[in-house]
């Protein structure tokens, strides 16, 4: 258990590391170190779509994260826009949802969708309707990260970019600090929020089943602005999602896949994904098929997958005392960042968190190898391809 003013070094200044710093800074000496920039890698390219009610998470995770986004709205440069989400249902599957919808969703027929969201949809002829969820919304991931940084610094945290941590310092089975390119830094606790690289960085101390993951996104400018009521959405057979941006464009994301060699894999959106967006997704929204692509994107290094699709947020018993790991967020790092921050705080301070922690534990995995297939959030399917 920590005491007030214990020093905590957080390795990694992505959204997860910044959320941890914000939680601990009010009563700890917090130092965040990143060998690159603040939110410069995967966090900066995140979609910003917050669809907690559609995710396979405990209700307590979703309600806590949503309340935190609402509370932070208006602070710093952060804004959280709440907007309903529609998960389209193919015509052949309509009978599955006429009586009830899963996870609190409301089923609407195609005509009901078009009345509920006028002038929003294009060609929905292949769909019988959709499942509508509230408690969802969107944010600008970089604005969010910078606001977390600002809040952590306001509370006393020190955040340094271009400051590489080269090793963990351990004496007698207990963390004593880190070694950096500029020398040693003492600490009572060290939190590694370093994504898929955590496996290699801590290989001497703990086995972590984590693999690099990449996703693609395309931003399209419609030929006419979509109405303010236009919902966010997803198409589960194509495994894509979309949301409106603050500039009125439409971000379409998806195509998650494991990478065998992130450093050796060319950057850029895969042509097959671009074609899918243009041919199959854009026509679903009014005016988007006639729009133009303004940006293509993917995470510049890689996101991080776990074998079961849920994060690892733990102080593993086989590791040195004082070590906490955050990894395997499976493309949901921004969405779960409020939960991540509070979970790490509970591990450092022994406080009782307002949500279950068992699903975060590393010891849920008997096999700690990185030889696993991608566990899709969309459901069963062939998710094993590694480009």
Give how many domains the chain has, as a whole number.
2
Length of the chain counted residue by residue: 387
Q: Are residues 207 and 310 in the same domain?
A: yes
Which residues of the chain register pLDDT less than 70?
Answer: 1-4, 98-103, 379-387
Domain co-membership, 219 together with 293:
yes
Give the sign of the dihedral formed by CA 144, CA 148, CA 153, CA 159: negative
CATH number, residue 61: 3.50.50.60
Same domain, 221 and 264: yes
What pLDDT sits at residue 101?
Answer: 60
CA 91 to chain centre: 31
In a domain, 148, yes or no: yes
Residue 71 within a domain: no
Q: Is residue 276 part of a domain?
A: yes
| Element at 273 (helix H, strand E) | helix 271-276
The answer on 179 and 44 residing in a single domain is: yes
Phi, psi of 228 (to 5 degrees): -60, -25
User: What are the φ and ψ backbone dihedral angles of 332, each rounded to 5 degrees?
Assistant: -120, 30
Nearest to 324 by CA among 2, 84, 37: 2
How many Cα atoms are found within 13 Å in the side-chain-facing hemisphere of 61?
26
| Listed residue (159, 78, 30, 6) closest to 337, CA to CA | 78
- DSSP single-letter state for residue 360: G
Distance CA 233, CA 243 (A): 7
> What are residue 41's phi and psi, to 5 degrees?
-105, -120
Judged by DSSP in three states, 197 sits in helix
> Of all helices (H) and strands (E), which one includes residue 151?
helix 141-154
Q: Full-prediction pTM beyond 0.75? A: yes
Which tens digits make up the pLDDT trace of 142-184? 999 999 999 999 999 999 999 999 999 999 999 999 999 999 9
pLDDT at 298: 85
Residue 44 within any structural domain of the chain: yes
pLDDT in tens, 37-65: 999 888 888 899 999 988 889 999 999 99
| pLDDT for 53 | 85
Q: Which domain holds residue 175?
A: 7-66+141-211+305-364
Element spanning 242, H or E? strand 240-244
What's the pLDDT score for residue 172?
97
Do 126 and 154 lie in one domain? The reply is no
Closest of 142, 138, 140, 137 to residue 14, by C-alpha:
142
From the list 370, 369, 23, 367, the residue with the least C-alpha distance to 191 is: 23
User: Domain containing 256 — which CATH number?
Assistant: 3.30.9.10
Question: Looking at residue 384, what is its pLDDT?
Answer: 37
């Amino acid at each position: 258990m920590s005491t007030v003013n214990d020093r905590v070094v957080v390795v990694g200044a992505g959204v997860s590391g910044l959320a941890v710093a914000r939680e601990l800074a009010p009563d700890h000496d917090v130092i965040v170190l990143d060998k690159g920039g603040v939110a410069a890698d995967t966090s900066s390219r995140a979609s910003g779509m917050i669809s907690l009610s559609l995710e396979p998470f405990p209700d307590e995770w979703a309600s806590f994260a949503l309340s935190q986004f609402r509370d932070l709205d208006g602070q710093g440069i952060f804004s959280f826009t709440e907007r309903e989400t529609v998960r389209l249902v193919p015509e052949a599957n309509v009978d599955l949802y006429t009586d009830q919808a899963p996870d609190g969703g409301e089923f609407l027929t195609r005509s009901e969708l078009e009345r509920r969201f006028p002038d929003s949809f294009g060609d929905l002829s292949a769909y019988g309707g959709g499942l509508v969820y509230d408690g969802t919304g969107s944010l600008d991931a970089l604005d969010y990260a910078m606001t977390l940084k600002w809040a952590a610094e306001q509370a006393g945290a020190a955040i340094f970019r271009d400051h590489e941590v080269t090793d963990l310092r351990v004496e007698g089975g207990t963390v004593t600090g880190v070694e950096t390119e500029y020398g040693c830094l003492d600490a009572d606790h060290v939190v590694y929020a370093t994504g898929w690289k955590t496996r290699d960085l801590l290989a001497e101390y703990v086995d972590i089943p984590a693999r690099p993951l990449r996703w693609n996104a395309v931003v399209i400018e419609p030929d006419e602005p979509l109405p303010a009521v236009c919902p966010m959405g997803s198409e589960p057979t194509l495994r894509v999602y979309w949301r409106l941006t603050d500039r009125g464009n439409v971000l379409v994301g998806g195509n998650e896949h494991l990478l065998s060699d992130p450093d050796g894999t060319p950057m850029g959106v895969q042509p097959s994904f671009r074609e899918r967006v243009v041919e199959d997704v854009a026509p679903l929204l009014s005016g988007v098929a006639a729009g133009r692509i303004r940006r293509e994107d993917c995470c510049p290094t890689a996101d991080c997958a776990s074998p079961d699709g849920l994060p690892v947020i733990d102080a593993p018993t086989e590791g040195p005392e004082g070590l906490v790991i955050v990894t395997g967020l499976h493309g949901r790092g921004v969405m779960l960042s409020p939960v991540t921050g509070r979970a790490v705080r509970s591990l450092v301070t022994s406080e009782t968190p307002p949500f279950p922690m068992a699903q975060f534990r590393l010891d849920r995995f008997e096999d700690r190898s990185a030889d696993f297939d991608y566990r899709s959030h969309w459901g069963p399917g062939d998710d094993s391809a590694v480009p």
